[in-house]
Amino acid sequence: MAGCGQDASTAGVLTGQEPPKADIRVDGQLHETKLGSYCWTARCVDTIGADEQLKGEEPVKVSHGAKVEFVMDYKPLPNKFNVLQMKEDGKHTELHVADHSFQAPIEKGVYYYSFGVWWMDSTRENVVHGDAFYHFVLEVA
């Protein structure tokens, strides 16, 4: 994830009342994401799914195959990631994330995304300090 340094493997305590803001960067431009469901410190919040939460939102217009990078200015950074792509027809695809980014689809259309991040404990297996899901919509022209 782009941002400054430290990741959750060197984590102390998560700070703030809710997860940090996250953006996507496409062609050098930052675009906000919407915070979905999360568990942070001692609080969990459930929201509607990405496609419902993003209804009426203007999609970020991207060219086919464009690099979409996740950006978060927070320490520690999360150390586990997942991206789910949803098409308007309801088809879901889990995407490969490399270097905190993925490639936009080749096929024209509107795509909804749920970007899941976890702050995993570095010494205790399967211990999660916090998690968050960030949603955004892209239109491949």
Burial class of residue 34, CB neighbours in 10 A (0-12, 13-18, 19+): middle
The b-or-e profile of 116-129 (16+ CB within 10 A means b, else e) is bbbbbeeeeeeeeb
DSSP tag of 9? G
Asked whether the beta carbons of 92 and 85 are under 8 A apart, the reply is yes
- In order along its 141 residues, the chain shows pLDDT tens digits of 554 344 444 345 799 999 999 999 999 999 999 999 999 988 999 999 888 899 899 999 999 999 999 999 999 999 999 999 999 888 999 998 998 999 999 999 999 999 999 999 989 998 999 999 999 999 998
In whole angstroms, what is the distance from residue 17 CA to residue 14 CA?
9
Domains of the chain: 34-140 (2.60.40)
